[in-house]
Copies of this chain bind each other. A is one copy, B any other.
Amino acid sequence: MILSALLTSVGINLGLCLLFFTLYSILRKQPGNITVYVPRLVAEGKVKEGGHFNLQRLLPTAGWVRQAWEPSEEEFLSNSGLDAFVFMRIFIFSLKVFSFGGIIGMFVLLPINYMGTQLTDESDFQSKSLDSFSISNVNNGSNRLWVHFSAAYIFTGIVCYLLYYEYWYLSSKRIANFYSSKPQPHQFTLLVRGIPVPHGSTCHDTVERFFLEYHPSTYLSNSVVHRSSKLQSLVNDADKLYKRLTNLKQNNDAPKRQRRDGCLGIFGRKVDMVDHYERRLGDIEDNVRMEQSSLEAKEVRAAFVSFKTRFGAAVALHIQESVNPTEWITEQAPEPHDVYWPFFTVSFIKRWISKLVVFVACTSITVLFLIPVAIVQGLTHLEQLETWFPFLKGILRLSIVSQIITGYLPSLILQLFLSFIPPIMIMLSSLQGYISWSQIQKSACTKVLWFTIWNIFFANVLSGSALYRVNIFLEPKEIPRILAEAVPSQASFFIAYVVTSGWTTIASELFQLTTLISNFISRTFCRNSDEEFEPPSIPYHSEIPRIRLFGLLGVTYFILAPLILPFLLIYFCLGYIIFRNQLLKVYMPKYETGGEFWPTVHNSTIFSLILMHIIGIGIFGLKKLPLASILTVPLPILTLLFNEYCQKRFFPIFKNYPAECLIKKDRADQNEHNMSEFYDKLTNAYNDPALMPMKYSERSESHRSPLLHSSE
């Protein structure tokens, strides 16, 4: 790629971003779009629908930037929760890293690269290849490479310092957040699995007996889990039907209430829909009651056990309870509305096997995803298509078709395939036996992260046959050389990737095109949607990997092609302000992990550093400076030691709360809160929502499952 092409691409994408921003600042002020652009404020009742047409509403303004910028860190934290706060710290951390890296890169490394003569690119400045700005242009064996060498050491040192600071800062935030929290059921509750129920006894009694025997002073209550997937689908049906019914009753619109009962509502007798729905609801309710009564027998050998103090729960959590470690397995309970109920049918051995199966499935998806990539790459060669499908020859020769096929189709197909990945990973994680949505999301986040790194970074770097790519990992000695040959040559591709993919995804995140369209359609065509409005929650498992990929690109290309850094800085600046806006106005925090996403971010940064070092070792070797290559070897080792230290120093804080905090918090609670009232609530917090008694036919106002929200 030559410089002018890059500049063109930057121009086009800047224009696109500006267009998105302008459209956003206009559309967000239209009353019909408030559920698209400020759904969170709507759900919190801070914004009301309505208002008339107004010319001012058509003028683009930048007020939203100020609104997003204004709240202090503390305000943002209390408003959006610790997870969102950690998410924003990723941007702040990246900005710090790449501001520093950018200064070194642009003012020290870039001039040195440009002054080299290795590539003998004699063209004028405009049509210079981007490679002239990369390390490839430095002369072989040149002493100037020692500047790159020192830059690698300095940059690594700075990144490690920032990582340490961030880990420290977030762990102190996590502890402070814990101290300031109200008593919540999940802090007092454990999930106990593998309960050995003796013959002739119920699960509930066994649990009661066991904990009264071994934790008599702290045990409070337990609620046994049931196998309820069939019941749950029935309850969901009833829920939907009930909503439709209330809707019908409210809009007392006679013609709409009449409908034929046959196929597609066209044939058959005319019936009153209210009567019809009420009868069906009654049937379902009978089914539910029958299922519920038979369900008592379908006990799963798992129970939520609540304790009187957090420390009591922690004691039972950390000490192996039974002589057989596969029985009485304890685990911290998630928030009640965060529980993922379907998993509970799985025993110790089954969960272990499903974990293995998921591991294998995930690995093969990650590795085999290269095949569609290869097919997509094949599609760009028209000749190949013609030989495969000779009957298409006529159509393919049309210039517009060939342009579409070679220009847009490949990346479209790739994007389509890529968009399936987060849901697939979520599905795999949910099979793994996690007990809460937040854990599933966390695990999917790691899976998607590795998937992205492998399939975007490595697949592009190691172009060539798919087999060849996997093969190099069986020859560890060759890795630095192969990477050092392949990575710098893809520099211009990744610079373009940051500009095109990076900038536009972040701008379209603001613009929310799909939500906007679906909102428009639903407003236009089905005015009486029975769907209850619910603000979305941010999909960490797809956003964090994307952001971390750009972080990886920045770190990896820091010494190779520092030209990428300014574009990344723009990306992270945009991302910071846009996601701050979205988290304040669009996304509703649903579950709170207490910042447990940070260790993933930390680990991926360490991985980027190590990758940079390995490539550095290879590149100094290729550049005929073997001494620098050898002297780089301690760098990854030191980085791994640093990581090991961080894991020891901070990771335990992100896993569990220490005794000190738990006991202090327990004592503060005893003074501040009415605990006996809380204990009453706690006792019922973890009942299966499907097992609640149902009385739709009689009642009309209150929502079915009060427990789902009682604990928020």
Chain A residues with a Cβ under 8 A of chain B = 175, 213-214, 314-316, 318-326, 352, 356, 474-477, 641, 645, 648-650, 652-653, 656, 658-663
Q: Is the CB of B475 within 8 A of A653?
A: no
**Closest B-chain residue to A661, C-beta based?**
B323
Measured between beta carbons, the chain B residues less than 8 angstroms from A356 are 641
A194 to chain B, nearest CB (A): 11
Partner of A658, one of B319, B474, B652: B319
A416 vs B314: C-alpha distance when bound (angstroms): 53
Measured between beta carbons, the chain B residues less than 8 angstroms from A326 are 648-649
This chain: how many copies in the complex?
Answer: 2
Q: Is the CB of A319 within 8 A of B318?
A: yes
Measured between beta carbons, the chain B residues less than 8 angstroms from A319 are 314-315, 318, 658-659, 662
A499 vs B322: C-alpha distance when bound (angstroms): 46
A214 vs B645: C-alpha distance when bound (angstroms): 27
Q: Which 10 A-B pairs have the closest CB atoms?
A: A318-B318, A325-B652, A320-B658, A319-B659, A474-B477, A321-B659, A315-B315, A318-B319, A214-B663, A320-B652
Q: Is the CB of B322 within 8 A of A660?
A: yes
A638 to chain B, nearest CB (A): 11
Q: Is the CB of A323 within 8 A of B649?
A: no
A593 to chain B, nearest CB (A): 18
Q: Is the CB of B659 within 8 A of A320?
A: yes
A77 vs B2: C-alpha distance when bound (angstroms): 80
A475 vs B659: C-alpha distance when bound (angstroms): 48
A10 vs B69: C-alpha distance when bound (angstroms): 87
**Closest B-chain residue to A650, C-beta based?**
B325
A319 vs B313: C-alpha distance when bound (angstroms): 11
Partner of A660, one of B214, B658, B661: B214
Partner of A321, one of B213, B650, B658: B658
A672 to chain B, nearest CB (A): 19
17 A-B contact pairs sorted by A residue (CB < 8 Å): A316-B659, A318-B318, A319-B658, A319-B659, A320-B658, A320-B659, A321-B659, A322-B658, A322-B660, A323-B653, A323-B660, A323-B661, A325-B649, A325-B653, A326-B648, A475-B475, A475-B477
A216 to chain B, nearest CB (A): 10
Measured between beta carbons, the chain B residues less than 8 angstroms from A315 are 315, 318-319
Measured between beta carbons, the chain B residues less than 8 angstroms from A660 are 214, 321-323
**Closest B-chain residue to A473, C-beta based?**
B476
A149 vs B58: C-alpha distance when bound (angstroms): 79
Measured between beta carbons, the chain B residues less than 8 angstroms from A321 are 658-660
Measured between beta carbons, the chain B residues less than 8 angstroms from A648 are 325-326, 352
Measured between beta carbons, the chain B residues less than 8 angstroms from A314 are 319
**Closest B-chain residue to A216, C-beta based?**
B663
Measured between beta carbons, the chain B residues less than 8 angstroms from A658 are 319-323, 325
Q: Is the CB of A656 within 8 A of B474?
A: no
Given A214-B659, A321-B660, A322-B660, 4 further pairs, Cβ under 8 A: A318-B319, A322-B659, A325-B658, A326-B649
A653 vs B659: C-alpha distance when bound (angstroms): 24
A474 vs B650: C-alpha distance when bound (angstroms): 34
A641 vs B660: C-alpha distance when bound (angstroms): 38
**Closest B-chain residue to A656, C-beta based?**
B320
**Closest B-chain residue to A662, C-beta based?**
B319
A319 vs B312: C-alpha distance when bound (angstroms): 11
Residue from A326, A653, A658 whose CB has the most chain B CB atoms within 10 Å: A658
A121 to chain B, nearest CB (A): 38
A663 vs B648: C-alpha distance when bound (angstroms): 31
A110 vs B561: C-alpha distance when bound (angstroms): 64
A661 vs B319: C-alpha distance when bound (angstroms): 11
**Closest B-chain residue to A356, C-beta based?**
B641
Residue from A352, A648, A649, A659 whose CB has the most chain B CB atoms within 10 Å: A659
Measured between beta carbons, the chain B residues less than 8 angstroms from A662 are 319
A154 to chain B, nearest CB (A): 24
A332 to chain B, nearest CB (A): 13
A652 vs B322: C-alpha distance when bound (angstroms): 10
Partner of A474, one of B316, B318, B352, B476: B476
A351 to chain B, nearest CB (A): 11
Measured between beta carbons, the chain B residues less than 8 angstroms from A645 are 352
**Closest B-chain residue to A348, C-beta based?**
B648
A362 vs B690: C-alpha distance when bound (angstroms): 59
Measured between beta carbons, the chain B residues less than 8 angstroms from A214 are 659-660, 663
A318 vs B314: C-alpha distance when bound (angstroms): 10
Measured between beta carbons, the chain B residues less than 8 angstroms from A213 are 663
Measured between beta carbons, the chain B residues less than 8 angstroms from A477 are 474-475
A259 to chain B, nearest CB (A): 57
A162 vs B652: C-alpha distance when bound (angstroms): 37
A362 to chain B, nearest CB (A): 17
A474 vs B314: C-alpha distance when bound (angstroms): 45
A356 vs B638: C-alpha distance when bound (angstroms): 12
A350 to chain B, nearest CB (A): 13
Measured between beta carbons, the chain B residues less than 8 angstroms from A320 are 652, 656, 658-659
Measured between beta carbons, the chain B residues less than 8 angstroms from A650 are 325
Measured between beta carbons, the chain B residues less than 8 angstroms from A325 are 648-650, 652-653, 658
**Closest B-chain residue to A329, C-beta based?**
B648
**Closest B-chain residue to A353, C-beta based?**
B641
**Closest B-chain residue to A663, C-beta based?**
B214
A576 to chain B, nearest CB (A): 29
A316 vs B477: C-alpha distance when bound (angstroms): 46
A214 vs B311: C-alpha distance when bound (angstroms): 10
Q: Is the CB of A323 within 8 A of B175?
A: yes
**Closest B-chain residue to A655, C-beta based?**
B320
A432 to chain B, nearest CB (A): 16
Measured between beta carbons, the chain B residues less than 8 angstroms from A322 are 658-660
Measured between beta carbons, the chain B residues less than 8 angstroms from A175 are 323
A213 vs B666: C-alpha distance when bound (angstroms): 13
Measured between beta carbons, the chain B residues less than 8 angstroms from A661 are 323
A370 vs B54: C-alpha distance when bound (angstroms): 87
**Closest B-chain residue to A174, C-beta based?**
B323
A626 vs B648: C-alpha distance when bound (angstroms): 47
